[in-house]
């Protein structure tokens, strides 16, 4: 009997009524290690109802008590993150150091949320009109849904739920079916930290579970990270149901390398940002735009470094793990086939990598293309694998136009020693997150994370002050204490005096 990863409802594991499951596989071996429950509509409603029932008491819990739970959760997470990293590696495939890195970045949002009392302060105006005072408060929305992707099973949920919970909301997390166990581990940690039952819940499943979150009237807001087509669907469906939505979509991140750049630094950055986590990052650099006559040297330096990458089991001394599923591995390999047929130069071919891992693992090594043109599918599509394309252009203006003409606008970078060029790029580029000699410009938790154009549907980015805004509603309260002898009828519109 293979173990079944269940839901988490009202402070305990919940099997649900549905008998449907999906396999959970170790990508480094190809072995099915368990099954994950796929919720029925009724199962989803049970989990959502637990969040709704828990909301009034958690909303009314003092900020002092809420932050005490947040601090305890942060300490437990810090003490035991090696356990969580091992779970992520076993189900996602990324190497342990990378798994620890994603947990640490998620923990930064927990730490940010520990300061929620200051962040939730409203305003107060005394005597705005004669003997009339006005103050504002930020109140929680209610139960909220978080639909997270496979590539960051810990960090992406932690972009949202620490702030949501700290602000007084209750949460239902719907993790990816590919790596569902991290969310259950986090639920158990919340319980150990003293979070009341029903405040943090986990709903396993597929489209049935997602659709119930998007349409159930008890859920007041949806946070989503995934591909652009699904982000569009989530946004359209949930907003039609009257919910707030932040739906972060796909990416095609470019890095411009100017002729004056330090090419060793740029080559290191392209390898790290292009092949880290097997390219399964929404902030991965997938296009290196070489400006002027530096392309040959840049490609040679990237190739030299990429050849040293050890692809293998994430629990070994590997640099890069497998892709998450066999189907995804084959899809990425199909793009490599297409790029070769389209006429791009295959400088480094990862299709036949000799991996340090199981014979049935989902392996594809670092792949580098040169002489890529914007009409090729390896340029236009989000591949989400270890495939880096080099596009050659003559000028900065041509490079900038490539980025601004692209439908995605998630992240970008420029490598240069020219401060004027860097400042101009930061001003002119139409992308939400920009790096200057920084290849993966993921901001700290006190800044917002999010892209532009087809990389975001909705008005609010993740975490930072935008996260506070997203998970609260502002209420303005106008107060007057009257002398009992003063009164009278006045049907006119209220005027300030």
- 242-264 pLDDT, tens digit per residue, is 999 999 999 999 999 999 999 99
Mean pLDDT of 296-321: 97
Which pLDDT belongs to residue 314? 97
Q: Which of helix, strand or coil describes residue 497?
A: coil
Shared domain for 28 and 170, answered yes or no, is yes
Which pLDDT belongs to residue 47? 98
**C-beta separation of 186 from 152 below 8 A:** no
The question of whether 114 is a catalytic residue gets the answer no
pLDDT tens for residues 205-254?
A: 999 999 999 999 999 999 999 999 999 999 999 999 999 999 999 999 99
- The CATH number covering residue 173 comes to 3.40.605.10
90, 163, 282, 376: which one is catalytic? 282
- Structural domain includes residue 422: yes
Shared domain for 245 and 260, answered yes or no, is no
Q: Can you tell me the distance from the alpha carbon of 124 to that of 151, in angstroms, rounded to the nearest whole number?
A: 43
- Structural domain includes residue 485: no
Q: What is the span of the domain harbouring residue 294?
A: 256-436
- Structural domain includes residue 495: no
Q: Which of helix, strand or coil describes residue 281?
A: coil
Q: Can you tell me the distance from the alpha carbon of 448 to that of 443, in angstroms, rounded to the nearest whole number?
A: 7
| pLDDT at 485 > cutoff 90 | no
Alpha helices in 245-395 (DSSP H): 263-275, 295-306, 326-342, 377-380
Using CA of residue 75, residue 79, residue 80, residue 82, what is the dihedral sign?
positive
Q: Is the pTM of this model over 0.85?
A: yes
Q: Centre a 10 Å sphere on the Cβ of residue 334 and count the other Cβ atoms it contains.
A: 12
Shared domain for 51 and 71, answered yes or no, is yes
Shared domain for 161 and 206, answered yes or no, is yes
Mean pLDDT of 162-168: 98
Which pLDDT belongs to residue 487? 62
Contacts of 92 (CB under 8 A, 6+ apart): 27, 99, 150, 151, 153, 178, 179, 321, 324
| pLDDT at 490 > cutoff 90 | no
Q: How many domains does the chain have?
A: 2
Sheet of 387-393, strand order: 345-348, 367-370, 387-393, 285-291, 253-257, 411-415, 433-436
Mean pLDDT of 127-141: 96
- The CATH number covering residue 368 comes to 3.40.309.10
Which pLDDT belongs to residue 497? 65
**C-beta separation of 328 from 349 below 8 A:** no
């Amino acid at each position: 009997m293979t173990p079944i990863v269940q839901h988490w409802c009202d402070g305990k594991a919940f099997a649900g009524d549905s008998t449907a499951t999906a396999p959970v596989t170790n990508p480094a071996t190809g072995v099915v290690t368990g099954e994950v429950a796929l919720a029925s509509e009724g199962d989803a409603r049970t989990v959502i109802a637990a969040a709704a029932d828990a909301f009034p008491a958690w909303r009314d819990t003092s900020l002092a008590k809420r932050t005490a739970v947040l601090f305890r959760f942060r300490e437990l997470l810090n003490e035991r993150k090696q356990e969580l990293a091992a779970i992520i590696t076993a189900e996602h495939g990324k190497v342990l150091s990378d798994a620890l890195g994603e947990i640490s970045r998620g923990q930064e949002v927990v730490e940010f949320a520990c300061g929620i009392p200051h962040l939730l302060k409203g305003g107060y105006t005394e005597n705005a009109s004669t003997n009339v005072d006005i103050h504002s408060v930020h109140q929680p929305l209610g139960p909220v849904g978080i639909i997270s992707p496979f590539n960051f099973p810990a960090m992406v949920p932690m972009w949202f739920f620490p702030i949501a919970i700290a602000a007084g909301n209750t949460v239902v997390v719907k993790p990816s079916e590919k790596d569902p166990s991290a969310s259950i581990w986090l639920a158990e940690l919340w319980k150990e930290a003293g979070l009341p039952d029903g405040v943090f819940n986990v709903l396993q499943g597929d489209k049935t579970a997602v659709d119930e979150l998007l349409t159930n009237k008890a859920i007041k807001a949806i946070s989503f990270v995934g591909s652009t087509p699904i982000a569009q669907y989530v946004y359209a469906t949930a907003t039609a149901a009257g919910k707030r939505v932040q739906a972060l979509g796909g990416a095609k991140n470019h890095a411009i390398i100017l002729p004056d750049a330090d090419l060793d630094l740029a080559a290191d950055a392209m390898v790290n940002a292009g092949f880290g986590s097997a390219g399964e990052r929404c902030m991965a650099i997938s296009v290196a735009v070489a400006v002027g006559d530096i392309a040959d040297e840049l490609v040679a330096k990237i190739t030299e470094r990429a050849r040293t990458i050890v692809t293998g089991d994430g629990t070994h001394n590997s640099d890069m793990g497998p892709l998450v599923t066999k189907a995804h591995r084959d899809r990425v390999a199909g793009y490599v086939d297409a790029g070769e047929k389209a006429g791009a130069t295959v400088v480094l071919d990862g299709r036949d990598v000799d991996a340090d891992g199981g014979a049935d693992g989902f392996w594809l090594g670092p792949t580098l293309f040169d002489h890529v043109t914007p009409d090729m599918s390896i340029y236009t599509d989000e591949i989400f694998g270890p495939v880096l394309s080099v596009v050659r252009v003559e000028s900065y203006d041509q490079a900038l136009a490539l980025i601004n003409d692209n439908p995605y606008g998630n992240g970008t970078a420029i490598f240069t020693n020219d401060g004027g060029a860097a400042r101009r790029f930061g001003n002119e580029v139409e992308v939400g997150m920009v790096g200057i000699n920084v290849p993966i410009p993921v901001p700290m938790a006190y800044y917002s994370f999010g892209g532009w154009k087809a990389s975001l549907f909705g008005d609010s980015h993740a975490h930072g002050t935008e996260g506070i805004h997203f998970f609260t509603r502002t209420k303005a309260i106008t107060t007057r204490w009257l002398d009992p002898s003063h009164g009278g009828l006045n049907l006119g519109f209220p005027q300030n005096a």
